[in-house]
A and B are shown apart, each in its own frame.
Chain A
Amino acid sequence: MKYAGKKLLTMFLTLFAVTLFVFLAFHVISGDPASSMLGTEATPARLEALREEMGLNDPVLVQYARWAGRFLTGDMGTSYSYRMPVSDMVTDKIPVTLTLTILAFFMMVLISIPLGIYTAKHAGGVIDRIIYIFNQIIMAFPPFFSGILITLLFGRIFKLFTPGGYISYEKNFWGFVGYLFFPALAIALPKAAMAVKLLRSSVIGEARLDYVRTAYSRGNRTNDVLYKHVLKNALIPVVTFLGMALTDMIAGSIIIEQVFSIPGLGRILLTSISNRDYPVVMAIIVCISLLVLVVNMIVDMIYGLIDPRISVE
Chain B
Amino acid sequence: MKSGKKKNYNFIVGGTITGLMLIFIIIGFFYTPYDPNAMDPSAKFAGISLKHLMGCDNFGRDILSRVMKGAGTTLSVAAGTVFIGTFFGIILGAVTGYFGGILDEILMRVNDAIFAFPSILLALVFISLLGSGTYQVVIALGIAFIPSFARIVRSEFIKCKNMDYVKNARLQGAGHLRIMFVHILPNTFTVLLSAIMIGFNNAVLAEAGMSFLGIGVQPPQASLGRMLSEAQTYLFRAPNYAIFPGLVIILMVLGFSLLGDALKREE
Q: Which residues of A contact B (CB under 8 A)?
A: 10, 13-14, 17-18, 21-22, 25-26, 28-30, 123-124, 129, 136-137, 139-145, 148, 152, 190, 194, 197-198, 201-202, 204-205, 210, 236-237, 240-241, 244, 247-248, 251, 255, 269-270, 273, 281, 285, 288-289, 292-293, 296, 303, 309-310
Please give, as numbers and ranges, the residues of chain A lying within 8 Å of B120 by CB-CB distance: 270, 273
A292→B112 CA distance, assembly (Å): 8
Q: Nearest-CB distance from A90 to chain B (Å)?
A: 15
Quick check: A142 and B254 within 8 Å, CB to CB? no
Please give, as numbers and ranges, the residues of chain B lying within 8 Å of A141 by CB-CB distance: 201, 250
Q: How many residues of B contact A (CB 8 A)?
A: 56
Flag whether B128 is at the interface (Cβ < 8 A). yes
Please give, as numbers and ranges, the residues of chain A lying within 8 Å of B201 by CB-CB distance: 139-143
Quick check: B124 and A273 within 8 Å, CB to CB? yes
Please give, as numbers and ranges, the residues of chain B lying within 8 Å of A143 by CB-CB distance: 201-202, 205
Task: Using A124-B3, A148-B235, A237-B159 as known contacts, say yes or no to A285 and B118 having CB atoms under 8 A apart.
Answer: yes
Task: Using A136-B254, A140-B254 as known contacts, say yes or no to A285 and B125 having CB atoms under 8 A apart.
Answer: no
Quick check: A273 and B109 within 8 Å, CB to CB? no
Q: Nearest-CB distance from B184 to chain A (Å)?
A: 13
Quick check: B257 and A251 within 8 Å, CB to CB? no
Q: List residues of B (222-267) whose CB comes within 8 Å of A's CBs.
A: 225, 228-229, 232, 235, 242, 246, 249-254, 257-258, 261
Pick from A28, A204, A269, A288 the residue with the most CB of B within 10 Å: A28
Please give, as numbers and ranges, the residues of chain B lying within 8 Å of A201 by CB-CB distance: 190
Name the residue on A nearest B197 (C-beta). Answer: A139
List 18 interface pairs A-B (beta carbons < 8 Å), by A numbering: A17-B110, A25-B124, A30-B128, A136-B254, A139-B253, A140-B250, A144-B205, A145-B228, A148-B232, A148-B242, A204-B1, A210-B164, A244-B151, A273-B121, A281-B118, A285-B116, A289-B112, A293-B112
Quick check: A142 and B249 within 8 Å, CB to CB? yes
Q: Nearest-CB distance from B1 to chain A (Å)?
A: 7
Q: Which of A21, A26, A142 contacts B205 (CB 8 A)?
A: A142
A65→B124 CA distance, assembly (Å): 23
Q: Nearest-CB distance from A120 to chain B (Å)?
A: 12
Flag whether B22 is at the interface (Cβ < 8 A). no
Quick check: B117 and A22 within 8 Å, CB to CB? yes
Quick check: B194 and A198 within 8 Å, CB to CB? yes
A88→B157 CA distance, assembly (Å): 43
Please give, as numbers and ranges, the residues of chain A lying within 8 Å of B64 by CB-CB distance: none
Quick check: B112 and A145 within 8 Å, CB to CB? no
Flag whether B35 is at the interface (Cβ < 8 A). no
Please give, as numbers and ranges, the residues of chain A lying within 8 Å of B204 by CB-CB distance: 142
Flag whether B58 is at the interface (Cβ < 8 A). no
Q: Which residues of B contact A (CB under 8 A)?
A: 1-3, 6, 105, 109-110, 112-113, 115-118, 120-122, 124-125, 127-129, 148, 151-152, 155-156, 158-159, 162, 164, 190-191, 194, 197-198, 201-202, 204-205, 209, 225, 228-229, 232, 235, 242, 246, 249-254, 257-258, 261
Task: Using A25-B121, A237-B156 as known contacts, say yes or no to A292 and B115 having CB atoms under 8 A apart.
Answer: yes
Q: Nearest-CB distance from A200 to chain B (Å)?
A: 10
Q: Nearest-CB distance from B76 to chain A (Å)?
A: 17
Task: Using A201-B190, A309-B162 as known contacts, say yes or no to A292 and B3 having CB atoms under 8 A apart.
Answer: no
A249→B254 CA distance, assembly (Å): 23
Q: Which of A29, A129, A145, A248 contacts B124 (CB 8 A)?
A: A29
Task: Using A137-B250, A139-B257, A240-B151 as known contacts, say yes or no to A269 and B159 having CB atoms under 8 A apart.
Answer: no
Quick check: A251 and B115 within 8 Å, CB to CB? yes
Q: Nearest-CB distance from B225 to chain A (Å)?
A: 8
Q: Which of A14, A148, A251, A303 contacts B109 (CB 8 A)?
A: A14
Q: Nearest-CB distance from B108 to chain A (Å)?
A: 8
Name the residue on A nearest B254 (C-beta). Answer: A140
Please give, as numbers and ranges, the residues of chain A lying within 8 Å of B254 by CB-CB distance: 136-137, 140
Please give, as numbers and ranges, the residues of chain A lying within 8 Å of B121 by CB-CB distance: 22, 25-26, 29, 273, 281
A137→B253 CA distance, assembly (Å): 9
List 4 tightest A-B contacts by C-beta distance, closest first.
A240-B155, A140-B253, A289-B116, A140-B254
Q: Nearest-CB distance from B128 to chain A (Å)?
A: 5
Quick check: B198 and A190 within 8 Å, CB to CB? yes
Quick check: B257 and A140 within 8 Å, CB to CB? yes
Quick check: A21 and B249 within 8 Å, CB to CB? no
A25-B117, A144-B228, A289-B116 are known; give 17 further A-B pairs, CB within 8 A.
Answer: A136-B257, A137-B254, A139-B194, A140-B257, A141-B201, A142-B225, A143-B205, A145-B246, A194-B198, A205-B190, A237-B159, A240-B151, A241-B191, A248-B148, A273-B120, A285-B118, A292-B116
Q: Nearest-CB distance from A139 to chain B (Å)?
A: 6
Q: Nearest-CB distance from A136 to chain B (Å)?
A: 6
Please give, as numbers and ranges, the residues of chain B lying within 8 Å of A244 by CB-CB distance: 148, 151-152
Name the residue on B nearest A274 (C-beta). Answer: B120
Quick check: B155 and A123 within 8 Å, CB to CB? no
Quick check: A10 and B109 within 8 Å, CB to CB? yes
Q: Nearest-CB distance from A76 to chain B (Å)?
A: 17
Q: Nearest-CB distance from A216 to chain B (Å)?
A: 16
Q: Nearest-CB distance from A307 to chain B (Å)?
A: 8
